[in-house]
Structure 1
Amino acid sequence: MQDISIISMIFTAALALTCLFLILAPLFKWDTYLHFAPKNQDLASTKEALLTTLNELEFEYKMDKISHNDYKHLKKQYEMEIAKIMKEEEDVAVTKVDQDLMAEVEKEIEAQMKSYKNKKGEGK
């Protein structure tokens, strides 16, 4: 009989914690803690959104919906953001190339070390 009450207490505690989590979960912004998208994909989607916005801005300017000064200011702002993202993408690509190059160099060094050890062992 003692075992049944301990099991029921554990089950009740687990159920209470689950209910508490489900009640409090909407109050927290989980997406800031759980970010699964790779940085490259995030940069690409942001760049695509900015380019789309830039095209829409140009369309609105040609339709005389915004003033020339506003158009120039917003266009410059969006172009600067796109340039910044393109620079980050370039840096990521260079870093990846550098890592690939370093891995290849390390393999060559290991191969040379093995051949050097083999030659040294043959000379004895």
Structure 2
Amino acid sequence: MHDITIVSIIFTAALALICLFLILTPFFKWQPLFSYKVNHPNLVSTKESLLTTLNELEFEFKMDKISPTDYKILKKQYETEVANIMKEEEQLTHVRADKDLMAEVEREIEEQMKMYKHKKGEGK
């Protein structure tokens, strides 16, 4: 009878430790593959609002609420602003990534784009 209580205590303690581990694991930061830190959060919100505006602009153009010339002018203006913000973000951002992995990802993207262009050309 004494052996059963020791085994049950050990089993209960192990079960409690496993539960504790599973509950606390999400609160710890693991080393990510990419670390991305923007020093100016205003840039992110501004970029998001500009991209939203671009989507709304395209929707209004498709609904014939904006003339084609106005659409082209506004689209070019917003795209230029987004590009400037992205350049500024790139300068302010600290990115640490595995260079070999990034090169492999870029190579795979280029291969997929070539396949897509090839398939698109065959479909015509």
TM-score band, normalised by shorter chain: 0.3 to 0.5
Greater fraction helix: 1
RCO higher in 1 or 2 (8 Å CA, sep ≥ 6)? 2
Normalising by the residue count of structure 1, what TM-score does the alignment of the two structures yield? 0.44
Normalising by the residue count of structure 2, what TM-score does the alignment of the two structures yield? 0.44
Greater fraction strand: 2
For the pair shown, the structure with the greater C-alpha radius of gyration is 1
